[in-house]
Chains A and B, each alone.
Chain A
Amino acid sequence: MKRFIMVLLLSLSPITVFALDTLQFANPEQQAVYETLTSELRCLVCQNQTIGDSNAELAADLRRQVYEMLQQGKSKQDILQFMTDRYGDFVLYNPPLKAKTGLLWLGPVAFLVMGLIAVV
């Protein structure tokens, strides 16, 4: 009986299966760059996921693109440039500080200052 319950409980435990691409890298550094990039680029279909997290087809295509560019010896900067040329800054989870994104970066500081003023 005990054994039966154990088997039952085990079969209830969630089995998570990840859709991992099996990729070969020339060296560990290249793999590290791949992993950083796929966790810094936004999947544009499911906007709150990175292309590394998402199972959307576009995410898989963009991962393939990143992988191929790394194989061609492109740098991280080249790849980020390639992506922003096509999808805009929105594709970056870490957007650059410029006039258009000023509010995004400085807004929290401004609110903090306003809050401080209000308290004091």
Chain B
Amino acid sequence: MLKYIIPLILFIIMAVFLAIGLNLKPSEIPSPLLNKPAPVFSAPKLQVPTEKLTPADLKGQVWLFNVWASWCVSCREEHPVLNQLAQRQAAVIVGLNTKDDPAAAKNWLESLGNPYDVSIMDQDGRIGIDWGVYGVPETFVIDKKGVVRYKHTGPVTLESIQQIFLPLIAQLQGEQ
């Protein structure tokens, strides 16, 4: 009897592990930044390079931090979704224009529409490293106290806007 039970148990264990493995998304690395203060930066604004923006300027507001670039193919796919989100004015949307040519970036916003309240430039990718960015686009949600509450890797979809972003933003807007 035992002769049949042990292989069965081993098979079940293996099947469970394989099932877990199938459902893991290795491309989505959990961010250690969650529930930690937003990493500090002071970066020139894309449209007005003489002015700088720091996270302290956004204290008291719920904001999204979206990493984008004009060379990024998935950003093009994501862009209309961001435009729609911007129309709802649910939260401030800050863009991190990473490793991009400012002229190409401005051109992109002119031709595809600008969902960002403000975009800042990160030409050498250092702010990206501080935020643990490894794939563009990425989107962070930061609460009124300046704490990172959520990170989305890859293009934001209409579905994730409806199911995750909008409810979370509403909840954070209610917090003090």
Whether chain B is bound by chain A comes out as yes
- What is the interface of chain A, defined by CB distance below 8 A to chain B? 44-45, 47, 57-58, 61-62, 65, 84-88, 90, 114, 118
A/B interface sample: 12 pairs, CB < 8 A:
A45-B134, A57-B125, A58-B125, A61-B126, A84-B32, A86-B132, A87-B29, A87-B132, A88-B32, A90-B29, A90-B30, A114-B10
Interface status of B19 (Cβ within 8 A of chain A): no
Q: Is B32 in contact with A65, judged by CB distance below 8 angstroms? A: no
Query: What's the nearest-Cβ distance from chain A to residue B54, in Å?
Result: 18
Q: Is A57 in contact with B99, judged by CB distance below 8 angstroms? A: yes
Query: What's the nearest-Cβ distance from chain B to residue A111, in Å?
Result: 9
Query: What's the nearest-Cβ distance from chain A to residue B1, in Å?
Result: 15
Residues of chain B within 8 A (CB-CB) of A61 are: 124-126, 128-129
- Among residues of B, the one whose C-beta sits closest to the C-beta of A89 is B32
Q: Is B125 in contact with A86, judged by CB distance below 8 angstroms? A: no
- What is the interface of chain B, defined by CB distance below 8 A to chain A? 6, 10, 26-27, 29-33, 39, 99, 124-126, 128-132, 134-135
Residues of chain B within 8 A (CB-CB) of A84 are: 32
Q: Is B10 in contact with A87, judged by CB distance below 8 angstroms? A: no
Partner of A87, one of B6, B32, B99, B125: B32
Q: Is A118 in contact with B132, judged by CB distance below 8 angstroms? A: no
Given contacts A58-B125, A88-B30, A88-B31, 20 further A-B contacts (CB under 8 A): A44-B134, A44-B135, A45-B134, A47-B26, A61-B126, A61-B128, A61-B129, A84-B32, A85-B32, A86-B33, A86-B129, A86-B130, A86-B131, A87-B29, A87-B132, A87-B134, A88-B132, A90-B29, A118-B6, A118-B10
Q: Is A62 in contact with B129, judged by CB distance below 8 angstroms? A: yes
- Among residues of B, the one whose C-beta sits closest to the C-beta of A82 is B129
Q: Is A88 in contact with B29, judged by CB distance below 8 angstroms? A: yes
Residues of chain B within 8 A (CB-CB) of A87 are: 29, 32, 132, 134
Residues of chain A within 8 A (CB-CB) of B10 are: 114, 118
Residues of chain A within 8 A (CB-CB) of B125 are: 57-58, 61
Residues of chain B within 8 A (CB-CB) of A58 are: 125, 134
- Among residues of A, the one whose C-beta sits closest to the C-beta of B7 is A118
Query: What's the nearest-Cβ distance from chain A to residue B36, in Å?
Result: 9
Identify the interface centre among A44, A87, A118: most chain B CB within 10 Å of its CB.
Answer: A87
Residues of chain B within 8 A (CB-CB) of A85 are: 32
- Among residues of B, the one whose C-beta sits closest to the C-beta of A43 is B134
Going nearest first, the 4 A-B pairs with the smallest beta carbon separation are A44-B134, A86-B132, A88-B32, A61-B125
Query: What's the nearest-Cβ distance from chain A to residue B132, in Å?
Result: 4
A47 to B163, CA, bound (A): 29
Query: What's the nearest-Cβ distance from chain B to residue A2, in Å?
Result: 50
Residues of chain B within 8 A (CB-CB) of A57 are: 99, 125
